[in-house]
Structure 1
């Protein structure tokens, strides 16, 4: 095969990979900006800090991937492949843990509801408004505030609402998770092949 053709293909792949990561870097910066904007607002501190953390991780990893691909810098590419490998392993482990403990999800969700009730009540208020539900198991089960069923005009708890929502969108959620994991595995394999 002609060397010029191979160099042209390599440069095109390198540039498309760099632009792909550049777009994700700007998306990560946007998520961080939303988190910073909402940090002192009436939004839950948990939501604001989560946006800052997720946006920061996306920005840093995308920055490393973008400039590693664009400059063909070995150190950046090794760091990027290590970070994506770690996150891929964490995601697969989380899916496995959730699957193994699926019978105890109700217990963990109830404990999480109690945690937010003690530490960040604004998160529960925002959650109830977003999903149009009240209380955990029913409108009388730890509703925040206790009159939310009247103010939101609902008659079901958030657990039932989420179970119904996940059941409705389960195929899309599983498909999205499979596509995300497959994309990460393909990127990881491409980088490993490139390094060898």
Structure 2
């Protein structure tokens, strides 16, 4: 009874309680695995040349942070259930609902970012790389067999030189690509955002399934005050049962009783027998008069 009183004992045999318990355990285990996978995807996106070059670091960082929060929240769910703490379960329920809402918003935004918006983001990113790290642009051009962004001479690498025009990306013997990079870059960007949005929304849907059993457990489990009151009531009941058993044993003349077997009254010690006169019953049946066994002037025998 260390984790609860009478109410917890009654819940242990409840079918809904058992179902909610196993649902919380299984869902938190699955969400912890999903959070670890989300962290792995974010790290891969940071280490991938295209991901770290064209696709902003926002998505990988969001994936890593979201995965870490999901794992921490899953651990909180495990710990709250293990401790059978009502307040911790309510905290877990509130944080889970908030995280589900945020993930749904992020996922919807990622899925709806298309077309002109991606073109603008790609243009700003390409300009930044062209000025600060053009080597990444060359990696993108080699990967997608393209030159420039909007057209083959649009901020292409190798950079255009008036004296060395032959080194341009579109005519260089090592490149010679005749298409711009905006099309394949946009497709890659949309593909990654779509995958990210679907992953986040799927994780939110899985966590949404945990809200119902979490609410059920948080509302049904007794609070700390209820547990203490139940334990105190149980202790008092045990005391009453013990006292009632002793009283029944005394009245029934059981082992250890202070009553004689014949029901004539309580057994007396030798000192009590010598201090008080012994009375004998004269005649039978009831209604006869008792007389003292030793009185002044009487003969012994």
Counterparts of 1:126 and 1:80 in 2: how far apart (Å)? 41
Instruction: Between 149-158 and 178-187, report the one with greater CA deviation.
Output: 178-187
Q: TM-score, normalised by structure 2?
A: 0.46
1:22 alignment partner in structure 2: 32
* Contact residue 134 and residue 148 of structure 1 kept, 8 A: yes
Instruction: Note the C-alpha offset of 1:20.
Output: 1.1
Instruction: Note the C-alpha offset of 1:140.
Output: 1.5
Greater share of residues in helix? 1
* Larger RCO of the pair (alpha carbons < 8 Å, separation 6+): 2
Based on CA coordinates, which of the two structures has the bigger radius of gyration?
2
Give the number of equivalent residue pairs.
Answer: 184
1:66 alignment partner in structure 2: 74
CA 1:86–1:112 in 2, change beyond 3 Å: closer, same or farther? Answer: same
- Which sections of structure 1, spanning at least 5 residues, go unmatched? none
From 68, 74, 89, the counterpart of 2:105: 89
Q: 1:13 aligned to 2:33?
A: no
Q: TM-score, normalised by structure 1?
A: 0.64
Q: What pairs with 1:23-38 in structure 2 (closer than 5 Å)?
A: 23-31=33-41
* Contact residue 27 and residue 207 of structure 2 kept, 8 A: no
1:160 alignment partner in structure 2: 183
* Contact residue 108 and residue 197 of structure 2 kept, 8 A: no
CA 1:138–1:9 in 2, change beyond 3 Å: closer, same or farther? Answer: same
Q: CA RMSD in A?
A: 4.3
- Alpha-carbon displacement from aligned partner over 1:78-100 (angstroms, at most 9, x marks no partner): 2233233123223334555x36x
- Which sections of structure 2, spanning at least 5 residues, go unmatched? 1-11, 81-87, 160-167, 217-301
